Amino acid sequence: MSRYLAPAGLEEALVALAGGARPVAGGTDLVVGVRQGRFPIPDDLVAIHRLAGFRGIAEGADGGLVIGAGTSHAEIVAHPRVTRDWTGLADASAIVGSPATRATGTLGGNVANASPAADTVAPLLCADAVIVCRSTAGERRLPLDGFATAPRRTLLRPDELIVAVELPAPAPGSASCYVRLEHRRQMEIAIVGAGALLRLEGGRVTAARVAMTALAPTVRRVPEAERILLGSDGGAAAVTAAAEAVAAAATPIDDTRASAAYRRAMAAVVTRRAIGGALARARGETVTIPASDTLFGAA
Amino acid sequence: MRYETSFRLNGTPVSVSVEPSRTLLHVLREDLGMTGTKEGCTDSECGACMVLLDGEPLNACSYLAVQADGREVTTVEGLSAPDGSLSALQRAFLAHGGVQCGFCTPGMLISATALLARDPDPAEETVRAALSGNLCRCTGYQGIVQAVRSAAAEIREG
């Protein structure tokens, strides 16, 4: 590798990307991936951790949130609007890696890396997140739904940088939750994960989002499960049926951490707990962040 | 191509010329002689390489040294006073048997230092969570957790 640039201005970074440079923010995926031999270190790197306006969380005009792509997981989980209104995202950011990973790793990196086990993606899908991409040619705003196309593949073009993740205002009466199955509390990657967002009005579910993690080539929504919940009373029968729909839609793999059969068997359990956590929060009950701790027993 | 990289290391300005592919861990150990920071898993799993970057814990094995330019890096060598006297946390590790083989100790001290800077009175569960990115291969966690809580009390009481 030969070239390195660490600009403070976005335009300079975008020009570098257009010239073939690859971006590095916290480096938590890049440096480990290189050492594991999954890809070579890029010849031309542009560091984006110094970019002005790249880090931080701003309130959008419509009551939504604009999270700079360089915002760390630690900053996300410390933000009062996130913990109040996007609780599922807080559940996820609170359990990514270790305290050091969370201080260094960024939301934009988690999305761009497109791991099938990325913790933040399921709750972001439930929140109808929009990915803001910039290049020297201009800006594209892409729905997160469909952004990842395969493991570690996204719609992001090589000359584009994710600059922000936009979250629309949450509907009144809605709440979200993210839960993952793990062998241990910390320093873990999801064996199976699930995100859910439910809106309750007059005892009926009037909006439903369910997304599954580490159960398909990409983290993705499960429309079959959402349809079962929509219009239901959010009772045990509907929740169980929705969870079964996730298990039926899952196409998990065998790897060193779990067999496909085990993942499929656990898919319904984890989904049921995520939906249950979202429903409890929508009813005003407290489910402590991160929900995984609460739903799988004491830490 | 090498890049001139300047940062504050344990309060002292340093400048090194580094290839962009080199990790902060290797530059600290090989170029700057700070061998208190250890190389363990090189995979961000064990925490033996942990340093503070602008006050936050960082796995130096998984961070490019060039990205430290203009920033503040603290290694275990920077935790004691300039005259060599140990910090309250370091003394507590000795007093409570928080050191066995010693390989994880620098990383443990770094994570615990970051914790006590933001939470002067952490509950035991908080200490365990803050140290969750640091593995002790001797499994001597009880003494380590006791040491952190004891140091917190000593610092609070002045």
pLDDT at residue A61, as a whole number: 83
CATH label of the domain that carries residue B123: 1.10.150.120
Q: Looking at the structure, do residues B113 and B147 belong to the same domain, yes or no?
A: yes
Q: Looking at the structure, do residues B92 and B136 belong to the same domain, yes or no?
A: yes
- Asked if the structure places residue B7 within a domain, the reply is yes
Q: Looking at the structure, do residues B66 and B106 belong to the same domain, yes or no?
A: no
- B100 contact A CB<8A: no
- Are B42 and A3 a contacting pair at CB < 8 A? no
Using a CB-CB cut-off of 8 Å, the residues of chain B touching A185 are 129, 132
Q: Looking at the structure, do residues B92 and B73 belong to the same domain, yes or no?
A: no
The domain containing residue B103 runs over which residues?
88-157
- Are B67 and A47 a contacting pair at CB < 8 A? yes
Q: Looking at the structure, do residues B58 and B92 belong to the same domain, yes or no?
A: no
Are B96 and B143 contacting, i.e. CB atoms less than 8 angstroms apart?
yes
Average pLDDT, chain B: 96
pLDDT at residue A299, as a whole number: 37
Please name the residue that has the structure tokens 């010329």.
Answer: B17
- B23 contact A CB<8A: yes
Q: Looking at the structure, do residues B55 and B10 belong to the same domain, yes or no?
A: yes
- B54 contact A CB<8A: no
User: A298 CA to chain B: closest CA distance, Å?
Assistant: 10
Q: Which region among A121-130, A180-189, A202-211, B30-39 has the lowest average model confidence (pLDDT)?
A: A180-189
Q: Looking at the structure, do residues B35 and B61 belong to the same domain, yes or no?
A: yes
- Are A3 and B61 a contacting pair at CB < 8 A? no
For chain A, percent of residues with pLDDT exceeding 70? 98
Mean pLDDT over residues B82-106, rounded?
96
Q: Looking at the structure, do residues B66 and B103 belong to the same domain, yes or no?
A: no
- B45 contact A CB<8A: yes
Average pLDDT, chain A: 95
The partner residues of A175 in beta bridges, in order of sequence, read A198
pLDDT classification of A298: cutoffs 50, 70, 90: very low
Closest CA to B108 of B67, B82, B146, B73: B146
- Are A104 and B43 a contacting pair at CB < 8 A? no
Using a CB-CB cut-off of 8 Å, the residues of chain A touching B3 are 4
Using a CB-CB cut-off of 8 Å, the residues of chain B touching A3 are 1, 20
Q: Is the pLDDT of residue A39 over 70?
A: yes
Q: Looking at the structure, do residues B40 and B97 belong to the same domain, yes or no?
A: no
Q: How far is CA A140 from CA A25, A87, A147, A165, in A?
A: 20, 27, 12, 12
CATH label of the domain that carries residue B28: 3.10.20.30
E strand map for A136-238: 138-143, 148-150, 153-154, 161-167, 174-181, 192-201, 204-213, 220-221
Q: Is the pLDDT of residue B126 over 50?
A: yes
Domain count, chain B: 2
CB pairs under 8 A between A and B: 90
Question: Beta strand A44-47 with A22-24: parallel, antiparallel or unpaired?
Answer: parallel
The phi, psi pair for A118, rounded to 5°, reads -60, 125
Q: How far apart are CA A192 and CA B127, in angstroms?
A: 27
Residues 209-248 of A with CB under 8 A from B: none
- Asked if the structure places residue B29 within a domain, the reply is yes
Q: How far is CA B70 from CA A189, B7, B54, in A?
A: 32, 5, 10
Q: How far apart are CA A207 and CA A227, in angstroms?
A: 9
- Asked if the structure places residue B147 within a domain, the reply is yes
Q: Select from B19, B66, B132 the Cβ nearest to the Cβ of A98.
A: B132
Are A28 and B44 contacting, i.e. CB atoms less than 8 angstroms apart?
yes
pLDDT at residue B58, as a whole number: 98
- A39 contact B CB<8A: no
- Asked if the structure places residue B71 within a domain, the reply is yes
Cis-peptide, bond into residue A168, ω within 30° of zero: no
Mean pLDDT over residues B55-70, rounded?
97
- Are A47 and B64 a contacting pair at CB < 8 A? yes
Q: Is the pLDDT of residue A185 over 80?
A: no
Please name the residue that has the structure tokens 């009551």.
Answer: A63
User: B128 CA to chain A: closest CA distance, Å?
Assistant: 10
Q: Select from A31, A47, A186 the Cβ nearest to the Cβ of B133.
A: A186
Nearest residue on chain A to B3, alpha-carbon basis: A4
- B11 contact A CB<8A: no
Mean pLDDT over residues B62-72, rounded?
97
Q: How far apart are CA A178 and CA B94, in angstroms?
A: 41
Q: What's the CATH number for A174-295? A: 3.30.390.50
pLDDT classification of A187: cutoffs 50, 70, 90: confident
Q: Looking at the structure, do residues B64 and B100 belong to the same domain, yes or no?
A: no
- Tokens read off for B105: 């100790």
Mutation target to probe the B interface, by most B beta carbons within 10 A, among A31, A34, A185 is A31
Annotated domain spans of chain A: 174-295
Q: Looking at the structure, do residues B23 and B67 belong to the same domain, yes or no?
A: yes
pLDDT classification of A297: cutoffs 50, 70, 90: low
The partner residues of A207 in beta bridges, in order of sequence, read A199
Are A206 and A232 contacting, i.e. CB atoms less than 8 angstroms apart?
no
Helical H segments across A70-106, by residue range: 73-77, 80-85, 87-93, 99-104
Using a CB-CB cut-off of 8 Å, the residues of chain B touching A7 are none
User: B105 CA to chain A: closest CA distance, Å?
Assistant: 16
- A27 contact B CB<8A: yes
Are A190 and A117 contacting, i.e. CB atoms less than 8 angstroms apart?
yes
- B116 contact A CB<8A: no
Q: Looking at the structure, do residues B92 and B74 belong to the same domain, yes or no?
A: no
Distance of CA B104 to the CA centre of its chain: 10
For chain A, percent of residues with pLDDT exceeding 90? 90
- Asked if the structure places residue B83 within a domain, the reply is no
